[in-house]
Structure 1
Amino acid sequence: MMPEPGSPSTPSTVSPLTLRCASAADVATVTRMHTASWRSAYRGILPDAYLDGNLEAERLQDWAYKLPALVNGDGLALIAEIDGEPLGLACAMNADADGSVLLDQLHVLPAAKGRGLGSALIDAVENWARASDADSMHLLVLSQNAAAIGFYESRGWRRSGMVKAPLGGIIVAAFRYELTL
C-alpha cells in the first residue's frame, strides 16, 4: 500500500521490489535515472548531440526545482528499487482544475526493463490519484516512442490529442493520453 497523500514516506515492499516516496536528497538519483532512460528511449528520435551533450545538467536543473516541490505537496515522486538499487522513477502532479492528474515522468533504467517496475510504478501512481479524488490521469508521450505507446495502451490509456513542442533542438510531436479512474 502506498502512503496516503501528505503522509510520511513509508516504504512499500513486494519482494524484492520496493517503492518509496522520493525525498529532496534524491535529486542526483532521479536525475541519473531520467538521463539514462532518455538516452536509451529517445535514441533515433532526438539528436545524438543533444542526448550525448549536457542532458544530465539540464535534467539536474529541472529536478532540483521539481523534486522539492513534489516532496512538499505538489504531487508524488516515487523511486522503484530492487535490493536497494534505484532502477525506476515516476512523478505525478496534483490534479488540475479538471480533476486530472498529470503523470509527468515514468522511467525505468534500460537494464531493468521487463521486470515489472514500470507497471508497479504506474499502479502506485494510479492508486495515489484515486486516493486524491482525481477523476482521470493524462500524460504526453513522444509520437515515435512505440514502446511507451504500447505500454500505456496495454494498460487502458487512450490517445486524446497531439501537441508539437521544441525538445532537443527540434520540434517533436507528442501524443496526449488519458485514463479514466
Structure 2
Amino acid sequence: MTNSIKIRKATQQDAQQIAKVHVDSWRTTYRGIVPDSLLDSMSYDKREKKWKRKIPEDILFIAEKNDGMVVGFASGGNERQQLYTGYDSEVYAIYILNEYQKRGIGRRLIRAVAQELSKQGFKALLIWVLEDNDSKHFYEAIGGQQLGHAQLEIGGELFTETAYGWTDIRELLK
C-alpha cells in the first residue's frame, strides 16, 4: 500500500488538501486531549489560507495517493525556540490521516524533510510533540532522544510538550 503513496514537495495547488489533512488529523489525534470546542471550531478555509502562506516559506512535503489525494504532510525549517544548543532545524508539523497511519508514510515524510534540511546545511533536528499524543512513540522508534519538556497553551489550556532530537540529521536519511 505504501508503494502507491508518492512523497513530493508541496505546491500552492496542494493547500486545500493539506488543510483538510491538518484539520481531520487534529480531530482524530487530539480528541480527548485538547478541548472538543477547539477541534470542532477548526476551519478548512482558515487552514487553507495559512498553508497557502506557508508553502513558499517552509520545507513542505506531502504524501499523495496515485489518484492525487493527499493523505499526509510534513513541514520543517529553522529551529524556532533555540532552547537546545546545537539543534538548528525543526520539524514543525507532521500529520497523516488516521486510516493511513502505521504504514511507513510518517517515516518517509520525516526522511524527505530531513533530506532537504541536510541539503540546506542543517546538522541537527528536533520536533515537539504533546505528551499525551501516542505519536511520541513513533519519534522514539526512529531514534529521537528525549530532550526535555515545555508548556504550550492550546485553546486556553496548558499542555506539556516533549522535544525529541537527533544530533545528526543524517540518522534520519537511512
TM-score, normalised via structure 2 length:
0.84
The one-letter code matched in structure 2 to 1:50 is L
Q: Which residue of 2 aligns with 1:178?
A: 165
Q: Which amino acid aligns with 1:151?
A: F
Give 1:151's aligned residue.
Answer: 138
CA–CA distance in structure 1, aligned partners of residues 143 and 87 of structure 2: 18
Q: Secondary structure at the match of 1:115?
A: coil
CA RMSD across the alignment? 2.0
**Equivalent in the alignment of 1:162:** 149
Q: Structure 1 runs of 4+ off > 6 angstroms? A: none
- Identity among equivalent pairs (%): 28
Residues 50 and 169, structure 1, Cα contact 8 Å, conserved in 2:
no
Determine if the alignment matches structure 1 residue 53 to structure 2 residue 41.
yes
- Against the structure 1 CA distance between its residues 119 and 139, is the aligned structure 2 distance closer, same or farther, given a 3 Å change threshold? same
TM-score by length of 1: 0.81
For structure 2, the residue ranges without an aligned partner over 5 or more in a row are: 169-174
Q: State the distance in 2 between where 1:61 and 1:91 align.
A: 16
Structure 1 stretches of 5 or more lacking a match?
1-13, 71-75
Secondary structure of the residue that 2:56 maps to in structure 1?
A: helix
User: Residues 45 and 95 of structure 1: is their aligned pair in 2 closer, same or farther, counting only changes over 3 Å?
Assistant: closer
- Of the three residues 93, 103, 106, the one matched with 1:105 is 93
1:133 match: secondary structure = coil
Residue from 63, 70, 82 that aligns with 1:86: 70
Aligned length: 162
